[in-house]
Copies of this chain bind each other. A is one copy, B any other.
Amino acid sequence: MEKNFDRAVLEDLLKRRFFYIPSFEIYQGVSGFYDFGPPGCSVKQNVISTWRQHFIIEESMLEVDCAILTPEIVLKASGHTERFSDLMIYDTVTKEVFRADQLLTEILKTRLKDEKLDEQLRKEYEEIIAQADCYKEKEMHELFQKHKILSPNNNPLSEPVPFNLMFSTFIGPTGTTKAFLRPETAQGIFVNFRRLLGYAGGKVPFAVAQIGNAFRNEISPRSGLLRVREFTLAEIEHFVSPDRKQHEKFKRVAEMELTLFPQKQQLSDGKTIGMKVKDAVDQGIINNQTLAYYMARTHLFLIKLGIKPEGLRFRQHLKHEMAHYASDCWDAEILTSYGWVECVGHADRSCYDLKAHTKVSKTELSVFEQFDEPRMEKAYQAKPVMQKIGREFQKKARLISNHLKQMNSEDAENLKKNIENDGKAKIEIESEEFELAKDHVEFSLEDVKINGRNFVPGVIEPSFGIGRIIYAVFEHSFSVREDDKRRGFFRFTPAVAPVKCSILPLSSNTDFDPLIQKIQSKLTLLGISTKLDTTSTTIGKRYARTDEIGIPLAITVDFDSLNDESVTLRDRDSTKQVRGNYSDIIDSVFQIIQGSLTWEEVTKKFPAFNRPSDKD
């Protein structure tokens, strides 16, 4: 962020130039929804296509595009219907609703401002605030009681109750199929795991990506784009063998230095540490190569968008913060005027989701790994004693004996133990239960040829909140010129800039039209977005206007251009200008945007030009 950064100035610019505004503005809106206007929409597209190139293309990922509306059974299986909730609490008089952890935090923060506050209490408040979003219903209620917290209107509050954050609806005309708007894109990937595995050739590791909208019915959305009810996610599910989380491209990032904020530092001195990726893995700070590889790739991606490295850190989740599916998690946090904001999560979801869906859908979501050579192993085998089984179970005897014959070693060993301990054991076959006694089954330990093994893969999930990243890019790109402090502008990188090049004729004289058309056609053909400004304002004011939406380059056409087709090219960041033939200039514009030519190099290729200046 710039020194003297003023959020109000940024927000005014974002709204005035229609980067984004609250949705349904003419109907006074609904909080938590934003519409992207032309420059914002373009920035969003650019962020997404940079992401697609950086992750999907460069890492050869499989991309999918799955349904948003998701039937209840899927989100029941994944645990979302039960656990995807925040605690809400309401003023018993006005019925106003609050998110319990937010209300708690705000009130305790106010109390902390009191300098006479008891030291013991101060410490207690600070600890509560640090983990406010982790308390369960009962703990939360006790805290509200203990600290005598009332509503902002000084009324008594209800008990906190969990409020599920998913929007629900019904599919079909009969109103019987309940469904939700997906709260994340990941489930679409998990339910398609079998087909994706087949597409990937039946082997892990492979990675699947999805970019799309997700929805969370936040109790009280706030902080602009940072906490909204409808948002775009870009998610990767990288499937690995649970005992082999190495990454084949790890050496490419091993020497990179990341700013880390591990659990240990958070719980001690609160300071981040700079560390080489390979050291962090070697020392067990980052759990495995794959997780670390993605963190490094995320770092590169964010820098590419214009995030400043000094405003970027990776914070490890504390134990109690972890989502219900995660076993380890590192957030890429970006420093903004709202503080450090979580923009990308890197979670190790372990085998949670695939196991959950296997259980409910009865579809095996696992990988069969063939050994290079078959192995001989000792394995337990269960042998049905047909005579006894036949007598006791009659028509079901064949079912039971087949089940026993097909039992794998682990299950057979378990059954053996249970029968040995209790003299009997229950088994379930096709939802029916049978009780087996000692004389129904015999066990043996035999040498068996094992061709391979079945396993449920682990999942490493980098998940990008596109809206939050865009907001962070706005703050990190926002700038003010020394000589014009009233007006801010954006130093967007060429990849992010909503429009790449503006075209400014010196005046609205129609003599300029043919050349302008030539310039515009050539730029468009090269896929370079342009903005033509033919208003009669001075060139200086028009430069300021294109700066406001962060256009990196401007081509100016003047009366000399009509003689020799020469034009001026202006660089937004340095405000310097060069002069050259329009066709050569456009070739350079293309190369600058592609990243293969710097402005420095441009100034060596073309003569400098000093009139008209930004002040005109």
Task: List A residues at the B interface (Cβ < 8 Å).
Answer: 18, 21, 23-27, 30, 32-38, 40-42, 44-45, 52-53, 57-58, 60, 62-71, 73-74, 88, 95, 97, 163, 167-174, 177, 179, 181, 188, 191-192, 194-196, 198-199, 201, 213, 215, 217, 219, 229-230, 357, 360-361, 363, 365, 524, 527, 529-530, 532, 535
Chain B residues within 8 Å of A188, by CB = 23, 35
Of B26, B169, B172, which is within 8 A of A361 by CB?
Answer: B26
In contact, B179 and A30 (Cβ under 8 angstroms): yes
Residues of B within 8 A of A95 (CB): 174
Q: Are B171 and A169 in contact (CB under 8 A)?
A: no
Nearest 7 A/B pairs, CB to CB: A36-B65, A23-B67, A33-B67, A26-B361, A38-B62, A35-B66, A26-B363
In contact, B230 and A68 (Cβ under 8 angstroms): yes
User: Is there an interface contact between B27 and A172, defined as CB atoms closer than 8 Å?
Assistant: no
Closest Cβ–Cβ distance, residue A433 to chain B (whole Å): 25
A58-B524, A163-B173 in contact; A65/B27 too (CB < 8 A)? no
Of the A-B pairs whose beta carbons lie under 8 Å apart in the complex, a sample of 5, sorted by A's number, is A23-B191, A25-B192, A25-B195, A35-B192, A171-B217
Query: Does the CB pair B195–A21 fall under 8 Å?
Result: yes
Known: A95-B174, A163-B173. 5 other contacts (CB 8 A): A25-B191, A27-B191, A37-B199, A40-B65, A167-B170
Q: Are B177 and A74 closer than 8 Å at their CB atoms?
A: no
CB of A528 to closest CB in B, whole Å: 9
- The one of B44, B169, B217 in contact with A167, judged by C-beta atoms closer than 8 angstroms, is B169
Question: Considering the chains assembled together, what is the distance between the CA atoms of A220 and B452 in angstroms?
Answer: 45
Is B88 touching A64 in the complex (CB atoms < 8 A)?
Answer: no
CB closest residue in chain B, given A66:
B35
Q: Are A41 and B63 in contact (CB under 8 A)?
A: yes
Residue in B58, B163, B213 whose beta carbon sits within 8 Å of that of A68 in the complex? B213
Chain B, Cβ-Cβ closest to A195: B18
Say yes or no: A26 contacts B191, CB within 8 Å.
Answer: yes
- Which B residues are in CB contact (< 8 Å) with A163? 173
The verdict on A173 contacting B25 (CB below 8 Å), with A38-B63, A229-B69 known, is no
Chain B residues with CB under 8 A of A198: 18
State the CA gap A58–B524 with chains docked (Å): 7
